[in-house]
Structure 1
Amino acid sequence: MNASSYHPTRRRKTGPMWTRASHQPRRKPEWANLSDSQILARLAPGKAEPTQVLELLLRLFNARHTARDKSVSHKTRQERAQFIRRAFGDLHARCGFKQLPDPRNLAQRHVQALVDLWQRERLSPATIQTYLSFLRGLALWIGKPGLIRGPDFYGLAAERYERHGYAEHDRSWSARSVDIDATVERICEFDPHVGAAMRLIRAFGLRRKEAVMLRPHRCMVPFEATALPPAQRAADHYVRIKAGAKGGRERFIPVSTPQRLAALAYARGVAVDQDAHVGHPDANLRQNLRRFHYVLDKFGVTAKALGVTAHGLRHEALIDHYAAITGAAPPVRGGAELPREIERPARAAVAALAGHSRIRVADAYLGRPARGRSVPNRADAP
C-alpha cells in the first residue's frame, strides 16, 4: 500500500477538521439570571434522580478548567464526562452500593471503593492519576474542594502515583539514537502528508494536531502582522499557530532557520491548494489522526518498538531551542547548573515556542531547573 492508494474510511462527512464536539450544550435561556447553585437547587437532594443531577453538573461545569479561569479542550470535556458517568455507574454495579448516590453526596467511602476497583483491574498509575484528577474536579463542582486526597490516603504508593511537573527522562529521538532524518524521510516517501506533519513537528516544535491542521499556504505572515514588540523580531516572516490544542495559545514562530524554511516548503508542496491543510484533503481530523498513528506504527515510531513517539520530536525541537539559546544541555540531558539570568529567559523562550504562557511548562521538556542559591555569572567567577 502506498500513499497514492490511501483512501479514508468512507463515512458520512462530519464537517471541517476542527468541528466542535457536541457534548457541551449551550446554557439554557431560562438560566440566564440564576447562579449555578440556584440551578442545582431546583433538583432537591433525595428527590431528583442521581443521573439527572450528574448531567446537570456536567452541563454547568464540564467546560471549565478546575484551576484557572479558562475553558478546557473538547477532548478533556469528553473524556471527563465519560469517566464521571462510568464511575457513578460502577459505584452501583461493581462497588457494592445498593443505590446510586446523589453526586452532591459523594464521600470518601465512594472514592475509596473506586480506587480499590481500579487497583483490582490493575490500571496503570498514570490512568489512576487522571481519574483522581477528574474526581477532584467533580469535588470542586459540588463544593467539596478537599475531598480528594493524596495517593497515600487511598493506600497507593506515593512514589508511583504522584505527578511530577518536570521531565525525569529525555524523551527525544536523539536520546534513543534514532536517525531522525532517515526515519522521517522514509515516512515522507510512504505518505507525504504524514511526513510533512513530522517535518513540521521537528522544525517548529508543534503538537501532532497542530501539524496536521496547519494550512501552510496561509499560515506565514510578515513580522509586522504579529503585533510582537520590535525588540523581539527574529525573522522577516513568522508562522501563525492557532490556539486550541491542549490549552495552547496562539503564537507566532519565526521562520528563522533553514530547517524551518524547508519544512514549510515541503508542506506547501503537499497541500493541494491555498486553503488546504497538511492532512489528507479527503479526510476529516479524526481520520487524519488515525492515519498518522497508523503510519508511525508501520515504521516503528512507538514506545514499544523504537522507544520514541511523534511527541518525542517536539521534545527534540524544544531541547534544541534551549541549547541554541544557552549553549548548554538542559538538566534532563545532564546539563550543568546555569546562572538564573541565563536559565530563566531560556525556559521562557521554550515555553513560548511550546505555546504556553507559564514558564514552568518548560520543565516537562527540559527537566527540573536548579534550585537554591543562584550560580554566579561565569564571567565574574574567580
Structure 2
Amino acid sequence: MRNEISVLRKFSRWVGKPNLVKPLQYYLPDASPERVKVTAVADTTKSWSANGIDVEAKMREAFEIDNRFGMVIAMQLAFGLRKKEAVSFQPWVSDQRDLGHNAIIVYGGAKGGKQRTIHIEFQFQYVVLDYVKQHIGKRDRLGWKKTIRGLNADLERNLKRYDYHMGKLGISKANCSVCGHGLRAE
C-alpha cells in the first residue's frame, strides 16, 4: 500500500496537486501505527551461517550435485550476486583485471537492468573467479547451456534449474528459513 500511495503522490505532484494524496494513516485510521510502518531493514539475518548452515559443507554438496551449480553458488558467496546475476554472469567479459581495474562488472540480470561494479577485495574472490574462468568458455555465461532434457536453456529455465538444485541442497525458506539470496548476507 505504501508503494501505491507513493506512486499516487508522485502523480498528484505532476498534475500540480501536491497535497491531494494524504499519509497512509489518514486512510487507515483504525490501524495501529506499527501495522502501517514500513522499514527497509531486515528484522532477522538471512545469512546461511547465522541460521545454522555450514556454508563450506553446502558448497561441497553443491559441487557434487552439479559442478556448474557449485560455481554459481561460489560466485554468489564470493561476490554477493543475486541468482539472476549469477546465472547470467559472463566471467571472461566481466573480469576487469586485464584492464587494470581490480573489479568485475555485472552486466546481465542486475536489479533494475543496471550494470554494477563489484570491487575484488579478498583472496577468496580471486580464487573463485579464476576457478570459474578455467571451467567456462570465453563467451559463455555461468548458467547452463542446455536443459536436463537437452534443449537450449534460456534465463527462465536456468533459474528453474537453480531453484531445483537449491531444493536438492535442502536450502529453502520452508526447510531452514533461508534461500540462495542469503549468500549475499554472508
Task: Normalising by structure 2, report the TM-score.
Answer: 0.79
State whether structure 2 residue 133 is matched by structure 1 residue 268. Answer: yes
CA distance in 2, matches of 1:243, 1:191: 22
Q: Which of residues 4, 16, 21 is equivalent to 1:147?
A: 21
Residue 158 of structure 2 corresponds to 288
Q: Which of residues 240, 246, 252 is equivalent to 2:111?
A: 246
CA distance in 2, matches of 1:165, 1:138: 20
Letter in structure 1 aligned against 2:27: F
RMSD: 2.6
Residues 258, 197 of structure 1: CA spacing in aligned structure 2 closer, same or farther, 3 A cutoff?
Answer: same
Offset of 1:285 from its aligned partner? 0.9
State whether structure 2 residue 45 is matched by structure 1 residue 170. Answer: yes
Letter in structure 2 aligned against 1:303: K
CA distance in 2, matches of 1:313, 1:141: 37
Residues 190, 269 of structure 1: CA spacing in aligned structure 2 closer, same or farther, 3 A cutoff?
Answer: farther
Residues 151, 276 of structure 1: CA spacing in aligned structure 2 closer, same or farther, 3 A cutoff?
Answer: farther
Residues 134, 184 of structure 1: CA spacing in aligned structure 2 closer, same or farther, 3 A cutoff?
Answer: farther
CA distance in 2, matches of 1:291, 1:183: 17
Aligned length: 175
Letter in structure 2 aligned against 1:291: R
Letter in structure 2 aligned against 1:260: Q
CA distance in 2, matches of 1:136, 1:241: 30
CA distance in 2, matches of 1:224, 1:183: 34
Q: Which has the higher contact order (CA 8 A, sep 6+)?
A: 2
Offset of 1:191 from its aligned partner? 2.1
Residues 225, 244 of structure 1: CA spacing in aligned structure 2 closer, same or farther, 3 A cutoff?
Answer: farther
CA distance in 2, matches of 1:275, 1:190: 24
Offset of 1:219 from its aligned partner? 1.6
State whether structure 2 residue 170 is matched by structure 1 residue 308. Answer: no
Q: How does 1:36-115 map to 2 (within 5 A)?
A: none
Q: Deviations over 1:206-265 (max 9, x none)?
A: 222111111112221237554xxxxxxxxxx42222376224754433444331122213
* Secondary structure of the structure 2 residue equivalent to 1:267: helix
State whether structure 2 residue 154 is matched by structure 1 residue 279. Answer: no
Tell me if the contact between 2:8 and 2:21 (Cα under 8 Å) persists in the aligned partners: no
CA distance in 1, matches of 2:167, 2:36: 29
Offset of 1:270 from its aligned partner? 4.1
Q: Deviations over 1:325-359 (max 9, x none)?
A: xxxxxxxxxxxxxxxxxxxxxxxxxxxxxxxxxxx
Q: Which of residues 252, 258, 267 is equivalent to 2:123?
A: 258
Q: How does 1:1-382 map to 2 (within 5 A)?
A: 129=1, 132-141=2-11, 143=15, 146-147=20-21, 149-151=23-25, 153-154=27-28, 155-222=30-97, 224-226=99-101, 237-242=102-107, 245-247=110-112, 249-271=114-136, 273-282=137-146, 283-316=153-186
Offset of 1:180 from its aligned partner? 0.3
Over the matched positions of the two proteins, sequence identity in percent amounts to 28
Gap runs ≥5 in structure 1: 1-128, 227-236, 317-382
* Secondary structure of the structure 1 residue equivalent to 2:63: helix
Task: Normalising by structure 1, report the TM-score.
Answer: 0.41
* Secondary structure of the structure 2 residue equivalent to 1:240: strand
The structure that has the greater radius of gyration is 1
CA distance in 2, matches of 1:195, 1:136: 41
Gap runs ≥5 in structure 2: 147-152
CA distance in 1, matches of 2:25, 2:127: 47
Tell me if the contact between 2:84 and 2:109 (Cα under 8 Å) persists in the aligned partners: no
* Secondary structure of the structure 2 residue equivalent to 1:305: helix
Offset of 1:176 from its aligned partner? 0.9
CA distance in 1, matches of 2:50, 2:107: 30
